[in-house]
Amino acid sequence: MTPDDALKAPITEVAAAIRAGRLSSADLVARCIENIEARDGALKAFVHIAGDALDQARRCDDAARSGASTGPLHGIPIAIKDNYLTADMPTTAGTAAQIAFPLEDGAAVARLRAAGAILIGKTRMHEFAWGMETPPTTNPYDETRVPGGSSGGSGAAVTAGFCLAATGSDTGGSIRIPASLCGNVGFKPTFGRIGRSGIVPHSWSLDHAGPLARNVADAALLVDIMSGHDPKDAGSAEAGPTDLSAALTQDAKGLRVGVCRNHFFEALDPQVERAVENTIALLGRLGATVVEFEVRELQYGLGAIFAIELSSSTAYHLPHLSAGRVDAYAPDVRLLVEMGRLVTGSDYLQAERYRTLLGRRFREVFANVDVVVGPTMPITAWRIGQKEVVLGGKTEAVLETSWRFTYPWNLLGLPAITVPCGFDDGGLPIGFQIAGAAFDEASVVRTASLVERHTAS
């Protein structure tokens, strides 16, 4: 196996080749660094490259020659979003403010290291995980367009062959949005499935950790490795690691696929709609039962998540507000942090009451279906600097449009994945979103793998 072959192969095959001596981890990491040097000047996906990445890789090669294995990620270069604390690389959370984040590994990073990963660098993010664009990062498919946010650097790095996978965080769609726009797989498991200690907080009850990867198998593997109880995270689930490998090869027999016709199919680009409808029809042809339904309560979701996100983000930033450090924040982020002060206690309480109501409604839904599917986003990647989009004859702010289909699964803490399902006429990727019941990542992965296998053939 050559390094270029490895950039297209599943991680399990690449790690096996490194352990068997058929591929050098050092050669693979060197190839990733060559790709970074050749293209990251334009893409700007990284804020820091690990100075010892090649040394890490050589140690993996030495271990392989002696018959030792460091784990399922033996010698695999993984990029880390800049809000994950790392012991050997600085963390800035995308801000120019002078905030000293600890030099230590968070829970998810420690699990990646223990599995043998080479941490190749830190990826750029929209400041403090706000925003949908990740400036100045650009989209590998079209460098005049955004990669999405807030994990835009991770999305761009995976697509450009700078690493084999990357970490992200997702509060309203920040894993799935860049994965959709950059044409890769983004997986947000159930709230609490992956521990968040050592990840700079954005909104305590909405934040999820997860991977961006080149294929469903790699994303599932990363979730298996990163998941497990984290005693330092008060929101961590009392659950052990997942094992999603069996779900990758299951067929569609008996699978119940839900399609929520309101909200998720309102005001979207016709090319996105066509690709998604074709994918739903594909699942039906493969043997899945398609169940259509509506959840009218979704119309109130945007106000609820914004109240929760604004107030909880501002609570985290209060010490920086008091110390005057917000002067260094980007204008869009500072405005949002300041706005959180305007959310009243009754506003927050009403939002949480709504979240409980919506959760009850979707528990009823998931009693009758295994997954809910639809478009990840209403649009494909928009141009850098574009502020509005016209959908169905109505002009909308890009910010409002971009997370409309992703944020409900953050409000509910349910697992959701995006997988590519086609391209628009401009060659930009379209994402297909699959959500499941709490802690049923297996059904999500099963469906995503079916889509991937049969849309690629």
pLDDT digits (tens, 9 = 90+) for 109-126: 999 999 999 999 999 999
**Final residue of a domain: which of 211, 231, 247?**
247
Same domain, 99 and 243: yes
Radius of gyration of the chain (CA): 21
Catalytic residue among 24, 174, 313, 443: 174
Pairwise CA distance, residues 24 & 446, whole Å: 32
Task: Please pick, among 25, 44, 81, 151, the residue that the annotation labels catalytic.
Answer: 81
Task: Determine the structural domain holding residue 402 and report its residue range.
Answer: 250-296+358-454
Q: Judge whether residue 343 has pLDDT over 90.
A: yes
Residue 277 counted as domain residue:
yes
443 is catalytic: no
Report, as an integer, the average pLDDT of 229-255.
95
Question: pLDDT per residue over 205-230, tens digit each?
Answer: 999 999 999 999 999 999 999 999 99
pLDDT at 320 over 90: no
Our answer to whether residue 150 is catalytic in this structure is: yes
Same domain, 206 and 112: yes
The reply to whether 245 belongs to the active site is: no
Do 155 and 32 share a structural domain? yes
What is the average per-residue pLDDT within 88-117?
96
Same-domain check for residues 184 and 227: yes
Distance, CA of 353 to CA of 350 (rounded, Å):
5
Q: Is 81 in the same domain as 96?
A: yes
Any idea which residue has 């569609």 for tokens? 252
> Does the pLDDT of residue 457 top 60, yes or no?
no
Same domain assignment for residues 291 and 407: yes
Question: What pLDDT sits at residue 325?
Answer: 81
Task: Tell me: do 10 and 136 sit in the same domain.
Answer: yes
Instruction: Read off the pLDDT of residues 389-442 as tens digits, 9 standing for 90 and up.
Output: 999 889 999 988 999 999 999 999 999 999 999 999 999 999 999 999 999 999
Angle at 183 between CA 417 and CA 105, to 5 degrees: 60
State the CATH number of the domain containing residue 135.
Answer: 3.90.1300.10
Q: Does 45 share its domain with 19?
A: yes
Instruction: Answer whether the bond into residue 378 is a cis peptide, omega within 30°.
Output: no
* pLDDT band at 456; cut points 50, 70, 90: low
- Specify the pLDDT at position 323: 83
* Structure tokens that stand for 165 in this block: 């996978």
Q: Into how many domains does the chain fold?
A: 2
The reply to whether 322 falls in a domain is no
94-110: average pLDDT: 96
Helices (H), 232-289: 270-285
pLDDT band of 449, cuts 50, 70, 90:
very high
Token digits of residue 293: 């339904």
With cut-offs at 50, 70 and 90, classify the pLDDT of residue 326. confident
Between CA 197 and CA 214 the distance in angstroms is 26
Average pLDDT over residues 249-275: 97
The reported pLDDT for the residue numbered 39 is 98
* Catalytic residue of the set 24, 44, 122, 150: 150
* Stretch 134-155: mean pLDDT: 98
Q: Are residues 132 and 210 in the same domain?
A: yes
Tell me how long the chain is: 457
